[in-house]
Structure 1
Amino acid sequence: MMEKKSRIYVAGHRGLVGSAIVRGLENMGYNNIVKRTHSELDLTNQEKVNEFFKNENIDYVFLAAAKVGGILANSTYPADFIMENLLIQCNVIKAAYENKVEKLMFLGSSCIYPRECPQPIKEDYLLSGYLEKTNEAYALAKIAGLKMCQYYNTQYGTNYISVMPTNLYGTNDNFDLKNSHVMPALIKKFHEAKVNNLASVEVWGSGKPLREFLHVDDMADACIYLMNNYEGNDFFNVGTGKEISIMDLALLIKEVVGYNGEVKFDSSKPDGTMRKLLDVSRLKNAGWAYKIDLKEGLKSTYKWYLENSHNIR
């Protein structure tokens, strides 16, 4: 278990998940958190990473740093996505081992699972089918990171664990309509429609696809819980185990934002995967369950968006 004085390195501390982990740790009284920006430490540079671990006496690592992007970026730059993510993972995991880090957590993605997975998705379905082509490079890198942790545990007796989150939202999310995910995109769309008194808001697709959403503060709580309470060679899905249609999500966001116009669904636009739900029974059996209700999470996310819209992404 992490002690309050343990030196805890959060790689990717400015990102959605990394910043939530830092907040969660600070709220629990951990006061020795090590952070480095990309300009201070390029995790793709093995020599710099080795030097950092050698000098900093790190006890625990949350590896939340990654090259991420939407469908367009993943499709356009697949070589960059697989190379940069593999370099980050290999450098950090190897340096953690060589410098006797007590425990490491690797953060992956639910895109590691096959495109046509049975629902809800169990951890056992990993490598049971073909990946989604549009983000295959990123998914392969994340699978490699997960497996690397397991193989290090098997060969060297390390204590490395991995978590695969569902769709996340919350503080520090990306609200850029060109490359944001569905939740922040809809929040921004409805807010701008409200401010500009627009008669309607258009939502892509039929509204029928089902999605699962987890507040990023719950994700951070799960990560810290597992870091303190789990030892073994399993990896974990992290989610709510509950789903909502895009139509119902849009109507809920409309209510939270206070928009009074009409919602129109453009069925000529693609729906994407019709259902994507994680099976979280392994995590529940380990003793953790989500706390933040979707409506409550949406309210706090919209409040944060309003307070930060002047300098938001």
Structure 2
Amino acid sequence: MNSEKASSPVNSSPLRPEPSRRFSVAPMMDWTDRHCRFFLRLLSKHALLYTEMVTTGAILHGDHERFLRHNEAEHPLALQLGGSVPADLAACARMAEAAGYDEVNLNVGCPSDRVQNNMIGAILMAHPALVADCVKAMRDAVSTPVTVKHRIGINGRDSYAELCDFVGTVKEAGCTSFTVHARIAILEGLSPKENRDIPPLRYDVAAQLKRDFPDLEIVLNGGIKTLEACQEHLQTFDGVMLGREAYHNPYLLAEVDQRLFGSDAPVISRAEALTQLRPYIAEHLATGGSMHHITRHILGLGTGFPGARKFRQLLSVDIHKASDPLALLDQAGALLEGR
């Protein structure tokens, strides 16, 4: 999570209908904070957005209002939790529901050493009964949908039979929606970054899972880069989740509503998106925040056109020495005109 002081209270709202998971943006540490999500929502009204993973300890023993804070405009919005103590997860799920989140997701995919040592993330794939207990505790505590994001296995437990055992056990606890990162996680010897690239993608394994559990919602994650690929995968899966591509090339989201949800609303331009973001930035500045807290997330908006390098320089380098940051923002926006 970013360390800057949040500027608005936790939002609370009535329970909403279950969100569509046809297209979602993955939870990404240090990336999908509330500023990033507000920006992405300008590009797509229908994409389901996820928070960064937040541990139960951070919520229960830290500044829970900061960790749960979001803008009402971010919906549909899911909170991803990291933890393995059923009672703690249930308590956090209740807080998430009170804060108005549309979904609570349990992280069973993060491979980092730090979370492994706390029994968080991919290590839990070796403990399907514990994951089932966690899911049941959360489902008993809230009416908000509870989902799981996981790998297709971990080293030492990477057979298809073991994957089916995991999914089947967690299904018995009442989970009906699984987001499958179609790679195993190697828990020793690879960094989290390497775990996103080195283990091979196995879409075939995820597809077999959908065939063997046709009643479950199976959302595919891992290596998806284009809306054409999304459309192809949606012939097999119930939904697709994009991670790094959605962050580094966010303007991809501008056509999601039209191409994946059948919306007839006009596609927002890059310049319009920045114009709509400007009041949000101005409010953040007025409450003592730094523009870089927000603009670091929009550098990819300049991807793919002449002037992109200047756009990124203005908002990543020049911004730190600008006496009038909003004027610099307007200068960057002028580079987007007609794009």
Q: Same fold (TM over 0.5)?
A: no
The interval holding the TM-score normalised by the smaller chain is: 0.3 to 0.5
- TM-score normalised to structure 1 length: 0.37
Q: Relative contact order (C-alpha < 8 Å, sep 6+): which is higher?
A: 1
Instruction: Please report the TM-score for the alignment, with normalisation by the length of structure 2.
Output: 0.35
